[in-house]
Amino acid sequence: MNAETERFITFPVRDFRLPSYEEIPDVGLYLEQTTSYINSYLAGMPGMELTGSMVSNYVKKGLIPKSVRKQYDRDQIAYLFFIAIAKSVLSMDNIQLFIARQKASYLAPVAYDYFCQELNNVLEYVYGKKNAMEKLGTTSSQEKMMLRNTVITIAHKIFLEQYFDAIRHNSIK
């Protein structure tokens, strides 16, 4: 691989990091601010951007609660990060089931931070930064297994999309 291709292919491992739950603003963001904030973290990740109309649809489908005074809080933003990333491999119906299962088992801050850790863990493995995925957490549950398998699928999809784009741009021979 040439240097440009290597930079392109390894983007998620080198530069990608979601904010922790505590790093998400808790002051309430308006719709445009919310989508800009989320999209700034997901820039360069294929098919993961959010629009205001998408967020409105997620509210209508009951995936996230309606904004309060037209502002989205930390929990809603955390769920939107998950939805934006998971929608690349899961249907909205399955995302809705996933969130319902998660809410019955874990509080939003715990679930979101675990999602972020698992995503970084799997991306580092898929992109060859480490030889094995770490076992995260001290407990085992069906929800954690579902999350890990979803994240593995997402990471592989990201890798393949970027690799095919590199081939299309003649960066890889």
Q: Evaluate whether residue 173 is within a structural domain.
A: no
What does the pLDDT look like over 53-82, one tens digit per residue?
A: 999 999 999 999 999 999 999 999 999 999
Q: How much is the average pLDDT of 75-100?
A: 96
Q: Evaluate whether residue 66 is within a structural domain.
A: yes
- More confident call, 94 vs 12: 94
Q: Evaluate whether residue 14 is within a structural domain.
A: yes
Q: How much is the average pLDDT of 90-116?
A: 94
How crowded is residue 61: how many other Cβ atoms within 10 Å of its Cβ?
Answer: 12
**Domain count within the chain:** 1
Q: Evaluate whether residue 57 is within a structural domain.
A: yes
- Tell me the CA end-to-end span of the chain in Å, nearest whole number: 8
Q: Evaluate whether residue 111 is within a structural domain.
A: yes
Q: Evaluate whether residue 142 is within a structural domain.
A: yes
Please state, for a pLDDT cut of 90, what percent of the chain lies above it: 64
Q: Evaluate whether residue 83 is within a structural domain.
A: yes
Domain residue limits at 16:
3-168
* Per-residue confidence (pLDDT) for residue 171, from 0 to 100: 59
- Using alpha carbons, select from 147, 139, 156, 151 the residue that is nearest to residue 98: 147
Q: Evaluate whether residue 15 is within a structural domain.
A: yes
Q: What pTM does this model have?
A: 0.89
What dihedral angle (degrees, nearest 10) is formed by the CA atoms of 158, 164, 167, 172? Answer: 40
